[in-house]
Every structure is written in structure tokens, then in C-alpha cells.
Amino acid sequence: MKNYNKYARSYFMPPKTSMKWMEKEYVTKAPKWCSVDLRDGNQALIVPMNLAEKLEYFQLLVDLGFKEIEVGFPAASETEFTFLRTLIEQDLIPADVTVQVLTQSREHIIRKTFDALQGVRKAVVHLYNSTSVAQREQVFKKSKEEIIQIAVSGAELLTSCAAETEGDFTFQYSPESFTGTEIDFALDICNQVLDVWKPGVDNEVIINLPATVSLSMPHVYASQIEYMSEHLKYREHVILSIHPHNDRGTGVADAELGMLAGADRVEGTLFGNGERTGNVDIVTLALNLYSHGIDPELNFERIPDVLKVYERITKMKVPERHPYGGELVFTAFSGSHQDAIAKGIKWREDNAEPYWNVPYLLIDPTDIGREYEGDIIRINSQSGKGGIAYILEQTYGLDLPIQMRESFGYRVKSISDHLHKELGSAEIYTIFEQEYINLNKPIQFIDYSFKSGEQFETMIEVKKDGVIHEFTGIGNGRLDAISQVIQSQLNISYSNLLYKEHALGTGSDSKAVSYVGITNESGTIYWGCGIDVDIMTSSIKALFSAVNKLILDQ
Ligand code: KIV
Ligand code: ZN
């Protein structure tokens, strides 16, 4: 890429003393979450939400447990104004939820914003102006002093408008484009705004430090946040908020390190919707906390339902590999992974493990409404016998003998390879059924009886080429007697009878399932499976299934 020298690092590293966040290992408590889906998220949609959709999305956010929800820019568009008025007038904002509105630091916009807020129970009024070098020089063409003046006069106007408007208001200030702003200038402007608002016990103020564009590696953002946290005035009455975007694909990392660095609050969206590459994904942040044993204070127990509403309303698609929500993120195709997962889950059940530690799965998919079947293990030509056997066992209760798993695994993989597609659990069962269960061609087993003495004497009735035969013979056990009859009367030879049986289901509906393997002269093992209400009949059916496979292969 010949143009790399067109770029230089355009962020401002604070003094190196601001790196204490590095000594912390993990985030110990959920931050205050603020959803900006209905603003940053909505303004980034190809088809922005209409009023009904906004109301439905708002309700989704409330149901998920958000206590702060930015509802947009009421002064900027008629829909957003009406949306806020509808929420207030129809009393749709629960008592424990605070709505947030955004306003530029311009008089008519601030006044119109307060018009829209009239009568609200509680609201955050979020004031911002752009502070970065690039914005000051290229867009606004203003000095630092003039930029400070914009922020301070906006802050003063918020104070006077709030006094004239019915409602309980919290103020928030964002130095927009913070990440491209000299750190001490960002500090200065925030402190001057704070001097206007004078935070105190009953007057907490939010200072929000957006990575409007993420310009640096996450540790730089964290150090900037820590520097601000340590040098802001009135710090104990300031709620320090962060608002990462995702330009470098590090939104989540920025937020997590930002929290270690002292952020009390995070603004973001569901699944990372938002301008350009999006805002930070709150689903991922919350569930990352959850995966460390921390209560995220948001409820994502039904992620598939959240995803459905999100995709329908935003008309965006959550990618298959998206953490937690993506279709394939709890799915293992690789044989060794499937095997390890199946063993890990069994281990958990057998050992009553208190903590989740299943290989390859960060969290238990069922905790967020995902399912094992289909979710965890999907079968393609790369899959292994472990995963295939796992599906048969988990979904259909068939616990195949180890050697049989291998041959069935090869069969399924070759079918998947041939069809060039992944196979679902029902398809896998159908293959198993067609290949092994109660096979009755070319020889159809009809009935049997035994007389027991020193040895077992048996009579079997079979149909071959349309003709019914009755054969008799003896053996050391029942199955052995039948096997002797088959070999001598039907002129087939095999050895090494492998056998396994277990119950299928429980209670009065339960059946018996048997698996039989026989080895021909050249060492190939043929497997059969028999299912019947009677255990002996199931084993005879399994034997005939194996014999039929051997005959067909001759
Ligand atoms: O990304 C951003 O800087 C913003 C501000 C308005 C906070 O959305
Ligand atoms: Zn933003």
C-alpha cells in the first residue's frame, strides 16, 4: 500500500502517569448503561425508524433493563420531536427510566429542545460541541477560546432553560471529537462547563468523552479517560461517561479499558449499530461482564428475540460471527471441537461443576436463550464422529458403540461432502435410520422362539426372495444361537460379534435399542441397529440389519 505515509497518528497521548488502569484485571461492576440506539443508531439507518417503530424499540430497551435511553434530537426533526412528546404525553416512560436528548450548543436548538421536554418526569439534556484540532481548524475556523465560549454559553443556557421548564433535569456535556482534541484542551473545556453547572450532591453532571472517531489503540483511549478522570474538577459529583465508536474495530476494547480507567457510564447500542462502523456494542459489553461472573444489569436471556426485533426494525443484519448474537457463534463444525464440547458438557453433568468451563464455549448458550441442538454442533464434511454421535445421543437418545460412531461418522461426512451442504440433526437421524435400523432386505426377520437347556435351541422364521423359511439351530446364548442359524442356513460367514444395548426413552413408551457389529473375512465391520419394545427382539433385528448390510455388500 504505497500511500501509508499519507497517515500520521492524530491523537494526543496524555502524560504516561495515566496508566494505572493497566494494573486492574477486570471490570468488577456494570457501568450505568445508556442506549443511543434511537439517536446515533437511528440516524445511521438507511431507512430511519418511524414513530411506531421508535415506540416499539423504546419498549424493547425498557424491557432489557436500560435505565437511560437517548431518544434523539427533538429540535432537529419533526419525528423526533413528536416521538418525545408521545412518550411524555402518553406516560410511556417508566418511573425508573430517564430519557436523554441531544442538543448542539446553539440557542434556538436548545430552546426548542426544552419545548419538547416540557412536563417530562426526568431527563438528561446532552449538550455538545466539537473540540478537535481538525474540526476547529477546518470546519468551524475558530480559536480555542471561541470553542470554549460556545460550550460555556450553551451550558449557561441549559441552566436557565431548565429553571423555566417543568421536569427534573441532569446535564451532560460532550467535547465531540474528543479523541482528536489535545488532552489538556479537552480537560479545560470540560472544567469550564463544570464551573457553570457546579456539580454537587443533588446535582450530578455527566461528562461524556466520545471516541467520535477511534483514532488510537485502546490503551491510548484508556489513558486519556484516566487522565480526565483524575483531573476533572468536582470529580466525585461527575459521572464520567464514554461513547466509543468502532472505526478501528476496537469499540469494545476501548470501552472495557475505558471502564478500567475510571468510566462510570457507557453509551452504546444493541449489536453495535450506529454511524459508520457503529457505536460500541452493549450486548457484547454486557455479556462479556456476564462471562466473568459479573451481573451486567441488563437482561439478555432471550437474545434470539432481541435479535428478531432489532433486525426487523433497523433492517440491519447481525453478522453470523457477531459475538453472542450471531447465528454461528456457538456452533462447532470441527470434529475435535465438537468432541471436546460434547465431553465438556458431559463432564459438567457428571461432576456438578459450579463454574462454566466447557472447552470452546465462552458461556452456556442456554443462558441467553440459544439452544444446544443445532446451535452447538453442526455437521459438515469437516465435522467429526464425536459431534455426530453427540447429536444422535442428545436429540434422539441413541448412544452408539465407539466403533460404530466411527463408521457412521465417515458415512455422514461423505454425504455432506457429496451434497456440499451442512446437515441438520433430522437429516443425520434419517441417514442413520436408513443405513442401520431394522433393515429387512434381502432377508426379512419375522419371528423367533427358544428352548433353553444346556445350550439355547432356537427356531427363526425369515422371508427371503418372497419365500418364508423356518430354520433351527443351537448356540451358547440366545443371540449366538440365532447367529449360528443365520450363518449355517443362509450360507454367510462372519466373526467377532460386537454388541451393545440400552433403553430408549423412559416409562411405558420406552423401547430397547441394540447395536450389533459383525466382521467379514476381509476384516470389514458391518453394523446394524434394532429397535423394538422387546429387548431380545431388538437385538435380533440389529443382527439381521448387520447381516443384510453384509449381504448387500458382497
Ligand atoms: O460520537 C459522538 O461524538 C457523539 C456525540 C454527540 C457525543 O455522538
Ligand atoms: Zn456518537
For the domain that residue 456 is a member of, what is the CATH number? 3.30.160.270
List 102's β-bridge partners, or say none.
126
Q: CA-CA distance, 281 to 193, in Å (whole number)?
A: 29
Which residue's alpha carbon is at the smallest distance from atom 5 of ligand 1? Answer: 176
For a pLDDT cut of 70, what percent of the chain falls above it? 99
Q: Which three cell numbers stand for residue 531?
A: 429397535
pLDDT digits (tens, 9 = 90+) for 192-250: 999 999 999 999 999 999 999 999 999 999 999 999 999 999 999 999 999 999 999 99
Question: Could you tell me if 377 and 349 lie in one domain?
Answer: yes
Residue 468 CA to ligand 2 centre (angstroms): 81
Question: Could you tell me if 146 and 269 lie in one domain?
Answer: yes
2 domain residue, yes or no: no
Question: Could you tell me if 227 and 358 lie in one domain?
Answer: no
156 domain residue, yes or no: yes
CB of 476 closer than 8 Å to CB of 455: yes
Residue 212 CA to ligand 1 centre (angstroms): 5
Q: Which three cell numbers stand for residue 452?
A: 433353553
Give 381 or 3, the one with higher predicted confidence. Answer: 3
In this prediction, residue 331 carries a pLDDT of 86
105 domain residue, yes or no: yes
CATH assignment of the domain containing 98: 3.20.20.70
Q: Where is the domain boundary, 276, 311, 346?
A: 311
Residue 525: C-alpha distances to residues 232, 282, 499 (Å): 76, 54, 12
Residue 63: C-alpha distances to residues 58, 59, 392 (Å): 9, 6, 37
Mutate to test the pocket of ligand 1, among 42, 128, 179 (most ligand atoms within 8 A of CB): 128
14 domain residue, yes or no: no
- For residues 2-27, average pLDDT: 92
Question: Could you tell me if 394 and 472 lie in one domain?
Answer: no
In this prediction, residue 384 carries a pLDDT of 73
Residue type for 39, please? R
465 domain residue, yes or no: yes
286 Ramachandran zone, left/alpha/beta (phi>0; psi -120 to 50): alpha
Q: Where is the domain boundary, 405, 429, 453?
A: 429
Query: What number does the ligand 1 atom closest to the CA of 275 have?
Result: 1
pLDDT digits (tens, 9 = 90+) for 52-109: 999 999 999 999 999 999 999 999 889 999 999 999 999 999 999 999 999 999 999 9
Question: Could you tell me if 88 and 139 lie in one domain?
Answer: yes
DSSP state of 468: E
Question: Could you tell me if 425 and 450 lie in one domain?
Answer: no
CB of 278 closer than 8 Å to CB of 252: no
CB of 41 closer than 8 Å to CB of 279: yes
250 domain residue, yes or no: yes
Residue 358 CA to ligand 1 centre (angstroms): 39
Question: Could you tell me if 402 and 499 lie in one domain?
Answer: no
Residue 175 CA to ligand 1 centre (angstroms): 8
Question: Could you tell me if 69 and 33 lie in one domain?
Answer: yes
Question: Could you tell me if 380 and 507 lie in one domain?
Answer: no
pTM over 0.75: yes
Q: Where is the domain boundary, 429, 456, 478?
A: 429
- Is the pLDDT at 124 greater than 90? The verdict is yes
Write out the DSSP string of 295-338: --SS--TTHHHHHHHHHHHH-----TTSTTTSTTTT-B-SHHHH
Question: Could you tell me if 406 and 363 lie in one domain?
Answer: yes
279 is in an annotated binding site: yes
423 domain residue, yes or no: yes
**Which residue range(s) make up the domain with 420?**
335-429
Q: CA-CA distance, 83 to 72, in Å (whole number)?
A: 9
Q: CA-CA distance, 231 to 225, in Å (whole number)?
A: 10
Question: Could you tell me if 238 and 214 lie in one domain?
Answer: yes
Name residues contacting ligand 1 (CB within 6 A).
40, 102, 128, 174, 176, 208, 210, 212, 243, 245
Look at residues 502, 446, 439, 448 and name the one whose alpha carbon lies nearest to residue 475.
448
pLDDT digits (tens, 9 = 90+) for 492-513: 999 988 999 999 987 878 999 9
Query: What number does the ligand 1 atom closest to the CA of 128 have?
Result: 6
Q: String of b and e for 47-77 (b: at least 16 CB within 10 Å)?
A: ebbeeebbbebbebbbebbbbbbbbbbbbbe
Residue 93 CA to ligand 2 centre (angstroms): 23
The mean predicted confidence, pLDDT, of the chain is: 94
437 domain residue, yes or no: no
Q: Which three cell numbers stand for residue 108?
A: 434556538
Domain count of the fold of the chain: 3
Question: Could you tell me if 461 and 388 lie in one domain?
Answer: no
CB of 265 closer than 8 Å to CB of 242: yes
Query: What number does the ligand 1 atom closest to the CA of 102 have?
Result: 6
